[in-house]
């Protein structure tokens, strides 16, 4: 009897090591792997030193730091990010990814960390659009698989071209091969800063929130990330209030 108990205990301890959670796996590996699409300034983009930098990178770095590991960033096509996450190519996606019902069917999303919305970017002085429906008969470029793509796809009679990267969509616009790009507002503004021939030609057309995406089953990592986001959002003053009252 005692021997059996000892044996069972050993089996249990062994299986805990063998099937440790995702957090143990990351810690043992020594780095957190983040998937992103680095044509989405200021969230992720390639800087002059050829490094991927941006707001999302800093968020992921805060998660890695709290785990006591380093961060590895993998730059991927946006519409390939979720399939690659499912195939364990990364632990987490930080890609200015909008939390949608459809995506929630296949991945877990962290608490929202940024409010966003789509806008229409045009060449300066081209036209002003009050609504996305006014893109009927217009040549429009989007990045494949984005919420901007989904929104534009709904417009009857739109002449839509999809590109793997926003850089290409905006290049087409500058080259006059299309007349509009549907893009997230903060990223649209960031591109305009470097392309003075472009401007935002619409109000904000949708209400979206970004979340980090994590593979289903990795709830342990999800809770950890939510905790880090919460700590980042809490000011030192709030922390003092919490501690003393
Ligand atoms: N927020 C948009 C989406 O989730 C675009 C994100 C991106 O292109 N990186 O589809």
Average pLDDT over residues 178-189: 98
**Which residue's alpha carbon is at the smallest distance from atom 8 of ligand 1?**
146
| Ligand 1 pocket, Cβ-based, cut-off 6 angstroms | 37, 40, 78, 95-98, 143, 146-147, 184
**What is the rounded CA–CA span in Å between residue 78 and residue 143?**
8
Q: How far, in Å, from the CA of 189 to the mean position of ligand 1?
A: 15
Tens digit of pLDDT for each residue in 110-148?
A: 999 999 999 999 999 999 999 999 999 999 999 999 999
Q: How far, in Å, from the CA of 166 to the mean position of ligand 1?
A: 10
Q: Which residue has the higher pLDDT, 151 or 238?
A: 151
Instruction: Give the mutation target among 41, 102, 104, 146 for probing the ligand 1 site: most ligand atoms within 8 A of CB.
Output: 146
Answer for the pair 45, 52: CB distance below 8 angstroms, yes or no.
Answer: yes
Instruction: Give the mutation target among 34, 39, 40 for probing the ligand 1 site: most ligand atoms within 8 A of CB.
Output: 40
**pLDDT at 5 exceeding the cut of 60:** yes
Tens digit of pLDDT for each residue in 79-121?
A: 999 999 999 999 999 999 999 999 999 999 999 999 999 999 9
**What is the rounded CA–CA span in Å between residue 193 and residue 93?**
26
């Amino acid at each position: 009897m005692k021997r059996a108990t000892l044996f069972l205990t050993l089996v249990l301890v062994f299986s805990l090591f063998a099937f440790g959670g995702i957090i143990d796996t990351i810690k043992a590996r020594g780095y957190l792997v983040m998937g992103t699409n680095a044509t989405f300034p200021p969230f992720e983009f390639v800087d002059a030193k050829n490094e991927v930098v941006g707001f999302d990178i800093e968020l992921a770095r805060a998660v890695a730091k709290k785990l006591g590991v380093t961060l590895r960033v993998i730059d991927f096509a946006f519409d390939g990010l979720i399939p690659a996450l499912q195939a364990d190519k990364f632990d987490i996606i930080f890609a200015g990814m909008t939390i949608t019902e459809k995506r929630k069917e296949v991945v877990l999303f962290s608490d929202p960390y940024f409010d966003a919305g789509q806008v229409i970017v045009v060449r300066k002085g081209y036209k002003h659009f009050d609504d996305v429906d006014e893109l009927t008969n217009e040549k429009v470029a989007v990045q494949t698989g984005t919420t901007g793509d989904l929104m534009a796809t709904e417009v009857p009679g739109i002449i839509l071209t999809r590109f793997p990267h926003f850089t290409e969509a905006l290049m087409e616009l500058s080259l006059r091969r299309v007349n509009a790009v549907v893009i997230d507002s903060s990223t649209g503004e960031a591109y305009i800063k470097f392309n003075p021939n472009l401007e935002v030609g619409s109000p904000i057309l949708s209400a979206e929130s970004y979340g980090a995406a994590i593979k289903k089953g990795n709830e342990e990592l999800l809770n950890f990330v939510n905790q880090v986001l919460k700590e980042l959002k809490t000011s030192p003053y709030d922390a003092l209030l919490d501690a003393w009252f």
